[in-house]
Chain A
Amino acid sequence: MSWMDQADTRSCVLLRLGDRRYALPAEQVAELAAPSRVFRFAHHTPEIDGVILRRGRVVPVCDVAQHLSGKRLTTRRFYLIATRRHGQSMDWIAIPVSGQCELIQADLTPAGESDSPHVAGWLSHAGEVIEVLNLNALMPSSHLVAASAAGNVVPEVHAQ
């Protein structure tokens, strides 16, 4: 099978985390937001730094750079607001990024068996081979933890 047979042209967003660039499929990106106040409260999910308020919605902040490079981002220029769909519900996640993001069209190569779980695929752009991230492997999800309870939608609830 040739490279072209395997490749799939997709819209992707390039994001910079420290000195490396990664990509996310564009359909998983909602917006790029300016840094805002991070609210913190007691919890036991170490991957989550806190939450931000975005358009009235509480969005958890997950510094994926720490998972990818072992180092927290020292400068947060923007939050890339990404989404994950679980059945009928949607998770919103704010990923701190250290530079501008770029929307590109690129040929995506699926990840191989030897790739890390956080790699959904690969793309080549401007002479650079870039990992396309698999958010489910980088960030926890109560939906994935409770996979046996699939279809158990986390609803938006209102005051009684």
Chain B
Amino acid sequence: MRRAIEHKSAPVRTEQIILFRASSEIFAISSGSVQEVRSVDSLAGTPVSVTEPSLKKVRHAIRRGDKNVYVVNTAIHFGLRPSATALIFLLRKSRVALLVDAIEKMTTMTRLQALPGAFCNEERTWYRGLTVLDQNVIPVVDPAGFLTSEELQSLDAATGSGNLTGVAGTAGAELSI
């Protein structure tokens, strides 16, 4: 008996991403790496102040359990002009949260192109790659590229992480993903 020939096309791998705005620019982050999106207002009074002169992009931390989650101003991280921020992305399995201006939209990407080799500075750690959406090139950020382990240690030392008392919890989540 002749077996029917099955024509199977390779399934297109897709990834859900959040397009967000920092300063005047649009970036993408995998929605799988964002645990919570919170309003900056919902954190009023709860953050720990951080004063680490070598890391101007971090001014606050949020106490979660026995650890600090450090809030990185995304615009300053990317060397952009700081702007009015409204949202915080708490990253999954990370001690980093991102201060961003706004969410543009959630969408799906099917292709992530490696950052061209001509880019050879910090951007290689900032981005997982580039994706093309609606004929626009969008950098896809690497959640691990915002703070190095050395920077986290330095911030822990500056805040005396583990010795903080009387810090409020993290109630008031605006949106969970």
CB neighbors of A among B135-168 (8 A): 135-139
Give A41 to B15 CA distance when docked, in angstroms: 21
Contact A45/B121 with A51-B137, A56-B132 known, Cβ cut-off 8 Å: yes
Residues of A with C-beta under 8 A to B45:
none
Say yes or no for A137: interface residue by CB 8 A criterion: no
| B128 interface residue (CB < 8 Å to A) | yes
What interface size band does chain B fall in?
Answer: 35 or more
Contacts of A41 in B (CB 8 A): 25, 27, 130, 137-139
A142 touches B137 (CB 8 A): no
* Closest Cβ neighbor of A37 among chain B residues: B135
- When the two chains form their complex, are residues B117 and A143 in contact, meaning their CB atoms are under 8 A apart? yes
A157 CB within 8 Å of chain B? yes
A92 within 8 Å of B by Cβ? yes
Q: Would A45 and B120 count as touching, CB distance under 8 A?
A: yes
Could you say which residues of chain A place their CB within 8 Å of the CB of B1?
none
**Cross-chain contact B132 with A142 (CB below 8 angstroms):** no
Q: Shortest CB–CB separation between residue B17 and chain A, in angstroms?
A: 8
Known: A42-B80, A53-B137, A86-B117. A58 touches B132 (CB 8 A): yes
Interface residues of B (CB under 8 A from A): 13-15, 25, 27, 30, 78-80, 109-124, 126, 128-132, 135-139
